Amino acid sequence: MQFTRRTLIATACATVVSLGFMGKAEAKIVDTETALQDIVMGKADAPVEIIEYASLACPACRHFHENIFSIIKTEYIDTGKVKFIYRDFPTNTPALAAAMISRCAGPDRHAGMVDIFFDTQSQWERSENPLQALTMVARMAGIGPTEVDECIKNSELMNGIQNNAKKANEEKGVAATPTVFVAGKMSEHGMDLEKLKKEIDEAIKAAM
């Protein structure tokens, strides 16, 4: 789980030089405190809270995001029944870099960054230079290489993400991704849409 700042910074610097991009992108990155805030969707007073721990390099997380979360969002989050919290649990160095970049984009743009990183997962996760590939993806989303470089060099952000993942492992038993909690309990049905919906429905009923 612990990745070195030296590795990320060295790769980031090489990426900026090799890509040859100049100037700043229009989009600015947010401060560290904002970047480390929980990513929350839905009504704050929704009767049920769901927490997902995910890695952007995890194929199962991509499946969850594309085939399960999308339904949960439509049927439960958008209707005010569920408050959904997304938390990073990076499983390798590229996943950590992707998590940092998506958080640097800020809460308002985080969901879009997650979408594009999952959509392009096979490209950057399998790349010989994942950070270069991530930088190119981020640039398409309006975050330039200078901002990516600044983000990757942010040791406070990197340590914050890793410490939160470590805390999830030690205090909640999170050991793999995706891990989903429904109303405070770890779900055994995170990858089974119908069983997960039943679990959510039961939690909503119990909360009423």
Return the pLDDT at 8: 47
Residue 58 and residue 92 in contact, taking contact as beta carbons nearer than 8 Å: no
Return the pLDDT at 25: 40
Return the pLDDT at 160: 98
pLDDT at 18 over 50: no
- Would residue 17 count as lying in a domain? no
Three-state SS at 153: coil
- Would residue 3 count as lying in a domain? no
- Would residue 16 count as lying in a domain? no
Instruction: Calculate mean pLDDT across residues 87-105.
Output: 97
Return the pLDDT at 208: 86
- Would residue 12 count as lying in a domain? no
Position of tokens 């997960």?
A: 196
Q: Which structural domain range is residue 190 located in?
A: 26-207
Tokens of 136: 């190119």
- Would residue 105 count as lying in a domain? yes
**Neighbour tally for 49: CB within 10 Å:** 18
Which helix (H) or strand (E) segment holds residue 151: the answer is helix 145-152
Per-residue three-class SS string for 79-135: CCCEEEEEEECCCCHHHHHHHHHHHHCCHHHHHHHHHHHHHCHHHHHCCCCHHHHHH
What CATH number does residue 130 fall under? 3.40.30.10
pLDDT at 93 over 70: yes
Return the pLDDT at 140: 86
Instruction: Calculate mean pLDDT across residues 103-111.
Output: 94
Label residue 21 by pLDDT band (50, 70, 90).
very low
pLDDT at 4 over 50: no
Return the pLDDT at 62: 97
pLDDT in tens, 32-86: 999 999 999 999 999 999 999 999 999 999 999 999 999 999 999 999 999 999 9
Q: How many independent structural domains does the chain possess?
A: 1
Q: Which residues, 6 or more positions from 165, have their beta carbon under 8 angstroms from its beta carbon?
A: 1, 53, 88, 89, 90, 174
Return the pLDDT at 1: 42
- Would residue 81 count as lying in a domain? yes
Label residue 27 by pLDDT band (50, 70, 90).
low
pLDDT at 197 over 80: yes
- Would residue 5 count as lying in a domain? no
Return the pLDDT at 72: 97
Q: Provide φ and ψ at 189, rounded to 5°.
A: -125, 30
- Would residue 1 count as lying in a domain? no
Label residue 5 by pLDDT band (50, 70, 90).
very low
Instruction: Calculate mean pLDDT across residues 132-143.
Output: 92
